[in-house]
Amino acid sequence: PLGLLVLLLTALLLPSPYLPGGLNIPVLMLLFLVLLWIVDMVILRRELHIVHSRTLRPLLAFNGIVLLSFVIGQLPWFSNASRAPLSAQIGGMLIFLLSTGAFLLAAHQLHDLRWLRWLTWIFIVVGWLHVAGWLIPGLGEITKYVYYRGVHSNSLYWTWLVALALSQALFNRDLPLFWRIAFGFVAVSTLYVGFVLNGGWKSGYLPGMAAAGAILAARSWSLRRRYATEDLGSDGFRYTGCFYE
């Protein structure tokens, strides 16, 4: 789990030189961690154990489609069309394959919920400092030298910051009220910076808004479902307006 924590901080803060195929140091580090996990599982422990989950089959099917697309993309379908460089194609393919690798690595390494909490909270706190640089005078002159530009110029950074902070604020009942309000402020301020202060970059705030809308819809559905199950009649049935169970 410590390797995943180092990977998170490396991806946020460590500048990376240009590498072929659009790769960078965090991607290579993730590849190294995945290979270490496979070597430990196959060679050292001599057991091929994959966590059983309903998400596994769709992930494997998706990766099969990625590999098939890469192979088919090498065929000369159009004689006059120029193809992307092979390094760029391999880099794009690795994005999808390593995303699955990261998913499986986390599923097998994070046996304690505390590690998942720390990864989530560290990403929110460290990630929001860049947003704070937009809001607090003078701080931006410091944060622009701290954060790797390839991080905050990627819309996924803004999307995950909104999604994780807002979901912690709305769904994590174990957090004290102060921290839930703080995480809610992180989500709102991030959307404010993306929509108001940097509104020309629609790829920065529209995915975050979509994530916030989905989370609010899930919260609304969760509340309706909870109230429905708590509204019991004297005959033992649950009554919710015009239907019952």
pLDDT tens digit sequence for 52-111: 788 888 999 999 999 999 998 888 877 777 777 888 888 888 889 999 999 989 888 888
Q: Residue 108, Cβ neighbours under 10 Å: how many?
A: 14
What percent of the chain shows pLDDT beyond 90? Answer: 33
Q: What's the mean per-residue pLDDT of the chain?
A: 83
Residue of 135, 106, 131 lying closest to 119 (CA atoms): 106
DSSP single-letter state for residue 22: G
Angle of helix 155-171 relative to helix 202-230, nearest 10 degrees, comes to 20
* Encoded tokens for 138: 């003078």
Do the beta carbons of residue 190 and residue 207 sit within 8 Å? no
pLDDT score, position 92: 84
pLDDT score, position 223: 67
In sequence order, the 6+-apart residues with CB closer than 8 A to the CB of 238 are 228, 229, 231, 232, 244, 245
pLDDT at 20 over 80: no
